[in-house]
Chain A
Amino acid sequence: MSDRKLPRLLQTPAVLLLLVWMLIPLGMTLYFSFIRYVLNSLRRPEWTTPSFSNWRGFGNYEFVLNSKDFLFAIQNSLFIVCSILFLTVILGVLIAVLINKTFPGQGIVRVLLISPFFVMPAVNAVLWINMILDPVLGLQGIAVGGINELIDGLKDAPLVGWFFGMWPELQPISFRATQTSAYAVIIMVTWQWTPFAVLIFMTSLQSEDQQQKEAAVLDGANTWSQFRFLTLPHLARPIAIVVMIQAIFHLSLYAEIEIVSRGNGNKNLPYLIGEFANNNIGAASATGIFAVILANIVAIFLLRMIGKTLME
């Protein structure tokens, strides 16, 4: 082999590391998904050690498919990811356009804005669900309580009292409840990742062609058409990238879901796997294989869509 091939060999360490990182656990997961394997069983102690003699075929897969949480977890995964993507992209574009022009304190505003991105996901979740969204002790609870008290006070006021008397008492929302826990996760992750979108869009806006804009102004384009026909198309590529990176990260959300409601009313596949894995490794592994398949479908979809533009 001539040493002209050396440069290509330089990718082998990374490729090999990632290959091992992927294949060994994946192989074990695949194996476990076809056997009966639980961590504790008084009735069938032989199931607590992995072995081919506990072969279950597709039994674990059937079990998972029939469990009521499975479809819900898939739907919910997609719901959460898509909502976050939607919100972060919209907010990101708006904020990036807003702060792209110089104004007094631009640097400080930028620092304030990107700070959430540096916060640990676990801290993010703890912070929001307890100190902000808690229906009693959090700011939400305190705010709702305050408003109710204010209205109460106004009920006895002369002249306008009857008007406020007709107001209902406000109820704080419990974000740990079955119906709402997904929203809590969406809120906190959006808070954390909007700055990321802003960062990327801002960088991209800085490279926008100013001459083109000037030409557009000369052609009589107003602000909206400038945004619609110049800025937005310019942002197409960064939007694609923000979507892709976030999809990669949010498909495997875990800490937020656990901290908000321990999966109550709000599971995604990783969390479902975690729940199974408390005892039933076989089922957890089968779910894992489903998750791998889902991830690959999403990956193929995203990468097909986005990969092309990236390689140019």
Chain B
Amino acid sequence: MGRIVLKNVTKTFGETQVIPPLDLTIEDGEFAVFVGPSGCGKSTLLRMIAGLEDLTSGAIEIEGEDATEVPPAKRGLAMVFQSYALYPHMSVRKNIGFPLRMAKMEQSEIDERVETAAKSLNLMDYLDRKPADLSGGQRQRVAIGRAIVREPEAFLFDEPLSNLDAALRVGMRLEIGELHERLKTTMVYVTHDQVEAMTMANKIVVLRAGVIEQVGSPLELYHKPRNVFVAGFIGSPKMNIFSGPEAEKLDAATIGIRPEHIGVSMTDGLWKGRVGVAEHLGSDTFIHVHDTGLADMITVRITGDIAVKHGDTIYLTPQPDQIHKFDDEGLRN
């Protein structure tokens, strides 16, 4: 059972402070996802929880006990690396069994547990292969298998899917989600793909330059982004954010409207613009609209297909209750 508490944690590499003082609690059984732009300190934070990176100051508690000085091997956490980090010289069976062997478990028990894990991950046919002879997705599953056999307090994932192709990524996303449903173990998951974050998390932690911008459930973040950064970061395509007279009309410094909350018409509407690129996905159409006088480009998302072409004039109307308003400091008001 793993409740993880970070208290006033900081991290400094040389002169640069990567993580300013930060507090965070991850409840037992939660699926917490760290998202943020590249270089914002997600991996560093995760590695600090793992014990692979020393804290510069502050403390980490795992399951109520101070773990700040506990070496990674003794924290009872399992980690899945972006590179999978399988042991190339060991067979799949040995790889999965390694943590158990390190825990000095009986060989018969190891075999049993490895089989169970392999079954649940569809790896039975590959148990005697070396990692080099596996596909990316299989390697990923071995890495997960290695993590689950020892029944850790919590799982840590560092961008585990970013080396997979798009189709596989969706599949693995579901598998990890199911794993969480089944095991109910705490999971901490790092990604910069906000779709992953939205679909898997019960709790999203949005980071920017080491600072937590917002913590909340996916829908909370979607509907009530606490500031402009979160608003722009969560949601795909990105929220349209702009300031100017249109914002002032609503008593805000900046306003934001998601592409899916804008209606379009070829004849009339609130804002007038010119169609740039239209991306037809079949189910949806993304239209990039220029010359609205609001921002360089406004993105609109429409369900279904619509016959617009480059250069057409188009009218946009936002849904008034879906407009997000932010003050001078970028905070929601």
Contact = CB atoms under 8 A, between A and B. Distances in A.
Nearest to B51: A4
Interface in B22-79: 51, 54, 69-71
A211 interface: no
Nearest to B71: A4
Contacts of A12: none
Interface residues of B, number: 5
Nearest to B54: A4
Interface of A is mostly: loop
A66 B69 CA distance: 61
Interface string A1-39: 011100000000000000000000000000000000000
Contacts of B70: 2
A3 B54 CA distance: 12
Interface residues of A, number: 3
Interface string A66-79: 00000000000000
A3 B51 CA distance: 12
Interface string A260-277: 000000000000000000
Contacts of A4: 51, 54, 69, 71
Contacts of B69: 2, 4
Nearest to A7: B71
Interface string A193-231: 000000000000000000000000000000000000000
A311 to B, nearest CB: 16
Contacts of A2: 69-71
A2 B66 CA distance: 13
A10 to B, nearest CB: 14
A2 B71 CA distance: 8
B57 to A, nearest CB: 15
Nearest to B70: A2
A66 B71 CA distance: 61
Contacts of A3: 71
A305 to B, nearest CB: 25
Interface string B284-321: 00000000000000000000000000000000000000
Nearest to A1: B69
A161 to B, nearest CB: 75
A4 B74 CA distance: 11
A126 to B, nearest CB: 45
Interface string B216-250: 00000000000000000000000000000000000
8 contacts: A2-B69, A2-B70, A2-B71, A3-B71, A4-B51, A4-B54, A4-B69, A4-B71
Given A2-B70, A4-B54, 6 more contacts: A2-B69, A2-B71, A3-B71, A4-B51, A4-B69, A4-B71
